[in-house]
Chain A
Amino acid sequence: MSVSSARVRYNKRVLLFCLGYVVTLIGGVSYFRNHPGAHGVTAYAAAVAPALLVIGVFFAVGRYLVEEQDEYVRMLMVRQTLIATAFALSLATLWGFLNAFDLAPHIDSYYIVVVWFAGLGIGQCVNTLLAGRSA
């Protein structure tokens, strides 16, 4: 199956942002390990850098939706991201209420991104199932 140039650019962007995320996360963890209780501009930069790289992945998804010329393939990606978003927001809402009533432990909010990426996988499965149903 041929891959569109928009998809190639998307894959490259996601790969770059993921590599950047790993580098900044390792750098951030190392910085705070060596500077316990650090504050100030450097500390904020070290803390925010991995988040910005994750946000970069969302940017890559947005750019892909703008650049993809194949309307059917674009629709598949829209459905996939909608499923991921619904899944992540639903789980976050459920967990938030469970946590509020002391029925579930506190979880750092950045884990919602991990759930969203898992939701992308679910969205891909839904797309595959729907494509196979009437093919």
Chain B
Amino acid sequence: MNNSLRALRAERGWSQQDLAERLEVSRQSVNAIETGRYDPSLPLAFKIAELFDLAIEQVFISPSREA
């Protein structure tokens, strides 16, 4: 699933490790989510969205709405 995690992280100047520590997951998890290799569970998706103070659909792009 495509997402804007990399851009959101870059806006804040966070490394993948910084984001991983804030989410209490591994850096490889952040990398897998950023590259669309892994779709997070709903609780983790909420956690990510809340960390950036955004709604889930502002972070993750619904596959049915992708061009």
Contact = CB atoms under 8 A, between A and B. Distances in A.
Contacts of A134: 35-37
A70 B25 contact: yes
A71 B40 contact: yes
A72 B26 CA distance: 8
Contacts, number: 37
Nearest to A69: B24
B37 to A, nearest CB: 5
A70 B35 contact: no
14 contacts: A1-B26, A2-B26, A70-B26, A71-B25, A71-B41, A72-B28, A72-B29, A72-B33, A72-B40, A73-B29, A130-B37, A131-B32, A134-B36, A135-B37
A81 to B, nearest CB: 18
A4 interface: yes
Interface of B: 24-29, 31-33, 35-38, 40-41, 44
Interface of A: 1-2, 4, 69-73, 75, 130-131, 134-135
Nearest to A71: B41
Nearest to A3: B26
A72 B24 contact: no
B27 A72 contact: no
A131 B35 CA distance: 10
A75 to B, nearest CB: 7
Interchain residue pairs A-B with the least CB separation, the first 5: A72-B29, A70-B25, A70-B26, A134-B37, A72-B38
